[in-house]
Chain A
Amino acid sequence: MNLKTKIESLLFVALKPLPLAKIAELLAAEKKEVEAALEEIKKDLNENQRGIILMQIDRKFQLSTAPESGKIIRDYLKDEQTGELTRPALETLTIIAYRGPVTKADLDVIRGVNCALILRNLMIKGLIESYADKEKMTHYYQVTFDFLKYLGLSVVNELPDYYKLNQDENLQKLLHPDLNPPAVPAETENPPEKPENSPNP
């Protein structure tokens, strides 16, 4: 059985996004090989009008139904979600989608208002998530798989004009010109294990 087959099966039963590292660990394979296999799976699924697509955020992967089947599945599951969002929420979400991972400070500059409350609401809705960059002592926000799900996208860079808006020069100047884009978040799938309760000295 080749790697691609195994990965596809794994993704099929997984009920949450699988990090690349986790797949490599489970299959005792090199990350590079796994990555290449995932790329092939993505092509097979996403470009051949299949009923299932492979979604990706950073180095996490998840299978989902194809956006074309949205209505059928919605009817089958009797899902009544409309995806309705308020305008501030929509604006904030847009900025995070195009610029993510992004800090709250940058969001506040772009929107000209404090976004704390909106960020909280978006997090409650599961459309964005935050992770801490301990070195820079800040939190970064980025969109989640649930966001992709509502937009019918398999990766965030399928958004219209993604690269143009993501690397807009004025934006770069307006926000911190000296700052490099933040590092990819560390995979938190396996937190360091706590030491066993040692007997009292």
Chain B
Amino acid sequence: MYRIKIEQFEGPLDLLLQLIEEQKMDITQVALSKVTEQYIAILDENKDIPPEELADFLLVAAKLLLIKSKALLPYLSPEEEDLGSELESQLKMYQLFYEVSKVIHKMILKKRFCYFRETSHLVTPIFVPPENIGTQDLCRFFNLILKNIEPIIEIPREALHRTISIREKINQIKDFILKSEAMNFKNLIAQAKSKTEIIVTFLALLELVKQRDIAVVQENIFSEITIKKINQATP
């Protein structure tokens, strides 16, 4: 088998077309069966065909093999009569569009571009306030805007407050524990002003347990929780 130099190809049909044109053949089923081996050899050599295109290449290879096998064993003609002519007309179609794409490319390279009116080149922004607007109106509008953004500003403040209070709680519990070796959870929440604060206290407690600053003991379910300080090993 002689080698043909194919340098670059875009897709299976392009490769096939190049192989046939190289041999100065027209696109026929005979020509297709003649280039089958070369097509498959090139496929074998080109390991860098992108995986997403590989299936398309293999599909064409399968069709080629079918055409070839039919040429070799004409008496074994199964029902898929169309497959060969389908590939043939597909390739002819591709050739047709490939040829005109070159024409289009030439047209573009002539750079006979047309241009639309576009804001960017023609309109310069000018500020013209409406006649019935005075300074008082602007002041009023701005106050309205300020009022509108109030709720937006308020929300984060609330969230911020809560996060701080968890940290505060942790410090508070640490302080308590420093003063007395052990204490009850009930004492801890005695001064709590709201449910949120109780929850925060509990969360702070869990955090301290996690950090191994304290240990908690509970005898029974719902009974008192005793909080103890873990004595750090002093050097």
Contact = CB atoms under 8 A, between A and B. Distances in A.
Contact of A95 (B97, B107, B114): B97
Interface stretch (A1-9, A61-69, A128-136, A179-187): A61-69
B131 interface: no
Given A53-B114, A114-B52, A160-B100, 9 more contacts: A66-B114, A67-B112, A67-B113, A79-B113, A93-B104, A94-B104, A113-B10, A168-B96, A171-B93
Given A113-B11, A174-B90, A150 B108 contact: yes
Interface in B106-126: 107-119, 121
A interface: dominant SS: helix
How many of chain B's residues touch chain A, expressed as a range?
A: 35 or more
Contacts of B118: 15
Nearest to A65: B115
A168 B96 CA distance: 10
Given A109-B90, A112-B56, A174-B89, A165 B96 contact: yes
A56 to B, nearest CB: 13
Given A15-B118, A94-B100, A160-B103, A110 B94 contact: yes
A82 B14 CA distance: 25
A159 to B, nearest CB: 7
A111 B13 contact: yes
23 contacts: A65-B115, A67-B114, A68-B112, A71-B111, A79-B113, A83-B108, A91-B98, A98-B97, A110-B97, A113-B13, A114-B52, A149-B114, A151-B108, A152-B112, A152-B114, A159-B100, A159-B104, A161-B100, A165-B96, A170-B89, A171-B93, A173-B89, A174-B90
Contact of B104 (A70, A109, A151, A170): A151
Interface of A: 12-15, 53, 55, 62-68, 70-71, 73-74, 77, 79, 81-83, 85, 87-88, 90-91, 93-95, 97-98, 109-114, 145, 148-152, 159-161, 165, 168, 170-171, 173-174
B161 to A, nearest CB: 32
A104 B119 CA distance: 34
B12 interface: yes
- Which 3 pairs, one residue from A and one from B, show the smallest C-beta to C-beta distance? A152-B112, A112-B13, A67-B112
B89 A64 contact: no
B86 to A, nearest CB: 7
Contacts of A159: 100, 104
A129 to B, nearest CB: 16
A99 B107 CA distance: 18
A21 B95 CA distance: 39
Contacts of A95: 97
B111 A91 contact: no
B121 A64 contact: no
A100 to B, nearest CB: 12
Contacts of A90: 101, 104-105
Nearest to B123: A15
Interface string B7-35: 00011111000000000000000000000
A19 B97 CA distance: 30
Contacts of B103: 160
A112 B94 contact: yes
B224 interface: no
A170 B96 CA distance: 11
Q: Which residue, of B12, B115, B119, has the highest number of chain A Cβ atoms within 10 A?
A: B115
Contacts of B90: 109-110, 112, 174
